[in-house]
Copies of this chain bind each other. A is one copy, B any other.
Amino acid sequence: MHFDDKIPIYYQIKNHIYHEIITGTLQPGEKLPSVRQLAVDVTANVNTVQRALSEMIAAGIIESKRGRGNFVTMETTKITALKTQLVTTQLAHVYQQLHALNLSDEEILVSVQQYIEQRGQNK
């Protein structure tokens, strides 16, 4: 797995798994790979994976069953809530950043639109 060296690995692992849950790669109730297997998958240490998992367990997205494995929550409301939370975080961040670069609300919207259009052409 590719890591951004400006962000803690455990944090990136957490985000990675969250994405898999939200996109349905990991279904509600599904068992995750074992922590040892996950460590191999993402090329990180077991303790680092465990730290990521611990936060997801604390957030109620993952349920841990000792001796059996880690499972995605069956409460789909939690998952949709997670998605909106992540989306909002992203929007707030980019808005704040572009605003700090002196772009008006209108300019922000247009720049997003243009980025998407231009991106469609280069494909």
The distance in angstroms between the C-alpha atoms of A91 and B97, with both chains bound, is: 10
Taking a contact as CB atoms closer than 8 A, the residue among B24, B91, B93, B101 that contacts A22 in the complex is: B101
- Nearest-Cβ distance from residue A104 to partner chain B, whole angstroms: 10
Let me know if A2 is at the binding interface, CB within 8 A: no
Chain A interface secondary structure, helix, strand, loop or mixed? helix
Measured as residues with beta carbon below 8 angstroms from the partner, the interface class of chain A is 20 to 34
- Copies of the protein in its oligomer: 2
| Contact (A103, B115) CB under 8 Å given A6-B8, A94-B94 | no
Let me know if A108 is at the binding interface, CB within 8 A: yes
A90 & B94 in contact (Cβ 8 Å cutoff):
yes
Interface residues, chain A, with chain B CB atoms under 8 Å away: 6-8, 11, 19, 22-24, 83, 86-88, 90-95, 97-98, 100-103, 105, 108-109, 111-113, 115-116, 119-120
